[in-house]
Chains A and B, each alone.
Chain A
Amino acid sequence: MSDILLDIRDLSIIYATDDGVTEALNGACLQLRKGESLGLVGETGAGKTTLARGIMRLIPNPPGKIVSGQVFYDGRDIMELSEKEMCALRGRQISMIFQDPMTSLNPVMTVGEQIREVIITHHPNLSKAESRKQAEEMLEMVGIVASRYDDYPHQFSGGMKQRVVIAIALACNPQLLIADEPTTALDVTIQAQVLEMIHGLKVKNNTAMLLITHDLGVVAQNCDTVAIIYAGEIVEYGTLQQVYKNILHPYTEGLFGSVPRLETNSKRLAAIDGMMPDPTALPKGCKFAERCKYATDRCRAELPDMYELEDGHKVRCFRYEKEAQ
């Protein structure tokens, strides 16, 4: 299967601190085909960003450590690459958009130069005029007039800054774009503009995308496949239709119940009680058992496997054990 661009196998990442070992990510398995968009949905502290940084090998060590697993990018195991090879990959093949456009730009460098920096890093033979021209084209592509090349980040609004960040990420036509909450800091109308723009650029360059978000609506409108992550574990994984139309995992059910729906006039939200467990003291069994209305003694004692149903829809819950066999 050569069209698989990214294949994450059993990736586990920990942070060892004075307060104990945080199991940030546990046995994550995900696949992403060329040109496809995968939505990774979860709440604060679920391990979304850790997963993204793991793919980029940007886990700060110490305290972070990739304890096991492999990440195949285009057939090559990223974990085996030298730091030099990795640097060639970052920004050129795999690019990342960080959450906060306000802090991910350098305040003392013009936005144009920040885009050009990526271009000359990966194409050192370009002349200054050529690289500047390319950077200007990128600005235009994200809808900012090239005449603003010499402006500084503080002269832009939040939505424009995020577009500059996107221009930086896409400057070298990467094959894979990791977008970590790219629109969370933006207003809904600007969010729509930015997402539409990312989508347009993706289609144009056939870029695959890992979209990290907590917004189920954003995923529904932008992704092909979805993974739901809870307390460091992928609990449900399938196509958009599978996950949205046939919710299996109780946590996914809770997430959907927590979002006020526009089309119905519900008077009360079906909230999930309690909170995510402390990542330094995760329960032995299912991580969600404590908050789950279906939990049994077995759930608290034993960690469920990722069961795969006939249609390929995967879920980490004992309730589907029989169905999967």
Chain B
Amino acid sequence: MAGTTNEILRVEHLKKYFPVPNGMLHAVDDISFTLERGKTLGVVGESGCGKSTMGRAILRLHEPTSGSVVFDGQDVVAMNKAQLKALRRDMQIVFQDPFASLNPRMTVGEAIAAPLLVQKLYERKDKDGIQKRVREIMDMVGLAPRLINTYPHELDGGRRQRIGIARALALKPKFIVCDEPVSALDVSIQAQILNLMQDLQDNLGLTYLFVTHDLSVVKYISDDILVMYLGQMVEKAPADKLFSKPMHPYTQALLSAIPIPDPDKPMNRITMKGEITSPVNPGTGCRFAKRCPYATEACTSQDMVLTEPEADHFVTCLRVQRGEI
């Protein structure tokens, strides 16, 4: 994986462990990938698999336990506080819950202006300049100018999420971590926000790391998809390829569980035993082995290696490693 000029983010062996009373919680365990400028990497997995933690560790909202994050040629993990603050202009995040992520006592205008002031892009006295920029951003995300003095509680979920996106965009970032930005929204509003995010990407050349549990959404929005299970990356491939030729048994089971909105296409679900197990002290071997229909003893006695059976298609599975599939 040689670095190309187009590469904006390189994550290598990223780990984030949390100490818990009965051991170490391996939230993110040895994840490596690269992301090209202007592309979207979708991260999917079930709740508790560490996908949000990974997004946050990349931004250093969680301090990584080990590993490296290189953003635009700069080592993010080695940065001091001042450097990190400067970096925030380029790296932003949109949070999942548009009801919890906005200060209820700030108006829409104040909320969007806040990052501009924090980063000292405008003088506090420069009211006109700030207003002008806030209105520009509001226009960009489809918020009517009349809403500038309203409070979040007066607005519906779709509009609130637009504020969240507006705040992230205010600093003209290059890269945005989108942490389940549409999962709290109704389908018709979700479609509006997804379209907006795509337009913004096209117009501003943004790069997204799009964390979601919704597989239809991830296929729609992503160029590449990374599938996580209990803190580990089990598969990563271009979106079309992942859906047409999933190789990891977990990906296969996950895709087969999506209910298709067509009565003539019955589901062909691969039955998976049990539920996602605990990420505390997971031990050696494949973490999916307990639920995997193909698991053998070898799967739990040795750690899995990430292999690339086809160009750009990465899988962590012993069967693939051995060339059995």
* Chain A interface residues (CB < 8 Å from chain B): 43-44, 157-160, 187-193, 195-196, 214-222, 240-241, 244-245, 254-263, 265-273, 275
Contact = CB atoms under 8 A, between A and B. Distances in A.
A130 to B, nearest CB: 31
B158 A221 contact: no
Contacts of A187: 46-47, 213, 276
B215 A271 contact: no
A184 to B, nearest CB: 10
Contacts of B192: 271-273
B3 interface: no
Contact of B216 (A255, A261, A270, A271): A261
A304 to B, nearest CB: 20
A214 B187 contact: yes
B261 A220 contact: yes
A191 B187 CA distance: 18
Contacts of A265: 240
Interface stretch (B18-26, B56-64, B250-258, B313-321): B250-258
Interface in B185-228: 186-192, 194-195, 198, 213, 215-217, 219-221
B128 interface: no
B275 A259 contact: no
A270 B194 CA distance: 11
Contact of A160 (B187, B219, B260, B275): B275
A262 B257 CA distance: 12
B266 interface: yes
A149 B240 CA distance: 45
Contacts of A188: 46, 213, 215, 254, 257-258
B243 interface: yes
Contacts of B253: 189
Contact of A255 (B187, B194, B264, B265): B187
B200 to A, nearest CB: 13
A241 B187 CA distance: 21
Contacts of B263: 220-221, 240-241, 244-245
Contacts of B258: 188, 217, 262
Given A158-B47, A256-B261, A271-B191, 15 more contacts: A160-B275, A188-B215, A188-B258, A189-B253, A192-B259, A214-B186, A214-B187, A221-B260, A221-B263, A258-B187, A258-B191, A259-B191, A259-B261, A260-B220, A268-B195
B156 interface: yes
B242 to A, nearest CB: 11
Contacts of B124: none
A220 B272 CA distance: 22
B262 A244 contact: yes
A272 B192 CA distance: 7
A216 B194 CA distance: 18
Contacts of B85: none
Nearest to B243: A262
Contacts of A222: 259
B269 interface: yes
Interface string B237-253: 00010010000000001
* Chain B interface extent, by class: 35 or more
B298 interface: no
Nearest to A157: B275
16 contacts: A43-B187, A187-B276, A220-B262, A221-B266, A245-B263, A258-B187, A258-B188, A259-B191, A260-B191, A260-B217, A262-B243, A265-B240, A268-B195, A268-B198, A269-B195, A272-B188
Nearest to B240: A265
Contacts of B269: 192, 196
Interface in B69-111: none
Nearest to A215: B259
Interface in B259-309: 259-267, 269, 272, 275-276
Nearest to A195: B259
Contacts of A261: 216, 261
B46 A262 contact: no
Nearest to A275: B156
6 tightest CB-CB pairs across the interface, nearest first? A217-B259, A260-B220, A258-B191, A271-B191, A216-B261, A192-B257
Contacts of B261: 216-217, 219-220, 244, 256, 259, 261
B42 to A, nearest CB: 11
Contacts of A196: 269
A263 B259 CA distance: 12
Contacts of A260: 191, 194, 216-217, 219-221
B259 A221 contact: yes
A299 B274 CA distance: 51
A266 B220 contact: yes
A10 B258 CA distance: 35
Contact of B188 (A43, A157, A215, A262): A43
A265 B189 CA distance: 20
B220 A189 contact: no
Given A217-B261, A244-B261, A269 B156 contact: no
Given A44-B186, A272-B188, A191 B257 contact: yes
A197 to B, nearest CB: 12
Contacts of B217: 260
A298 B320 CA distance: 63
B216 A269 contact: no
Contacts of B221: 260
Nearest to A44: B186
Contacts of B195: 268-269, 271
A324 to B, nearest CB: 24
Given A187-B213, A220-B262, A275 B254 contact: no
A259 B189 CA distance: 10
B23 to A, nearest CB: 18
Contacts of B191: 257-260, 269-272
A192 B47 contact: no
Nearest to B156: A275
